[in-house]
């Protein structure tokens, strides 16, 4: 009885101590695991902070490069504007002299000792008309320095498109006659007046017709103008080499010329 009583007493005394020891061991193990997790998180945080500092340094360097590139771009833009203005001025000076001399030859033929034949007078009219068109384009080029800051202004008015096409055909007729090309023009009458920028449309039509005359060696060039619903369509066709199909998507890129590569 005494032995059993002693065992029960010891069990009653040491059982809480044993449970307390188990609890302490479990919490110690859990604390160590949490401490290890915290150390891992701290290492990850330190790595993230290091990466963030590195990214900030890279961003600062990138901002410095961007600022330097922006300064270079502004300097290049200023140099381009100065170059365009200078070249345009150099073009305009002799061009104005040519226009003045042609006007003198046509408007005051009495100052010359010889009589200009009709064919020469007709060619001089074409020269004057094209020089005036070129002078207008040079004046437009002088405004290129402001085009980046302000959009190009179109001066729209009611234009007789048949007149522009007839002038373009007359401008290239001497070249087509010398090359033996047949120049055909069909203008539907009456045509409505077109609300557009005269200089831009004249430039487009003249480029189409002159390119057809330049690159066509034999055959014919046909220009048709007709009304299509609420629009007026200008169609230029020739028997020249044409544009390769693989380049048709690029011909409207700035400064791109078919067959240049």
Asked if residue 111 has pLDDT above 80, the reply is no
Strands of the sheet with 231-238, listed across from one edge: 182-187, 220-228, 231-238
> Model confidence over 166-190: pLDDT tens digits?
888 887 887 788 788 888 888 888 8
Asked if residue 260 has pLDDT above 60, the reply is no
Which carries the bigger pLDDT value, residue 63 or residue 122?
A: 63
Question: What pLDDT was estimated at residue 13?
Answer: 65
């Amino acid at each position: 009885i005494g032995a059993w009583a002693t065992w029960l007493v010891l069990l009653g005394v040491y059982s809480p101590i044993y449970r307390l020891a188990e609890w302490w061991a479990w919490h110690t193990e859990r604390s160590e695991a949490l401490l290890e997790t915290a150390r891992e998180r701290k290492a990850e945080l330190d790595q993230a902070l290091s990466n963030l500092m590195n990214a900030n340094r890279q961003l600062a360097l990138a901002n410095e490069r961007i600022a330097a590139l922006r300064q270079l771009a502004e300097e290049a833009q200023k140099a381009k504007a100065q170059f365009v203005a200078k070249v345009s001025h150099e073009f305009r000076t002799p061009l104005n002299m040519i226009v003045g001399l042609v006007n003198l030859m046509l408007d005051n033929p009495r100052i010359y000792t010889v009589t200009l034949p009709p064919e020469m007078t007709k060619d001089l009219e074409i020269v004057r008309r094209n020089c005036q068109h070129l002078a207008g384009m040079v004046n437009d080029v002088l405004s290129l320095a402001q085009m980046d800051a302000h959009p190009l202004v179109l001066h729209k008015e009611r234009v007789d498109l048949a007149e522009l096409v007839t002038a373009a055909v007359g401008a290239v007729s001497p070249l087509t006659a010398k090359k033996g090309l047949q120049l055909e023009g069909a203008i539907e009458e009456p045509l409505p007046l077109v609300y557009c920028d005269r200089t831009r449309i004249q430039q487009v039509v003249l480029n189409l017709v002159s390119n057809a005359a330049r690159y066509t060696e034999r055959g014919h060039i046909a220009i048709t103008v007709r009304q299509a619903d609420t629009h007026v369509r200008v169609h230029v066709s020739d028997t020249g080499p044409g544009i390769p199909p693989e380049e048709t998507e690029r011909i409207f890129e700035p400064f791109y010329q078919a067959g240049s590569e």
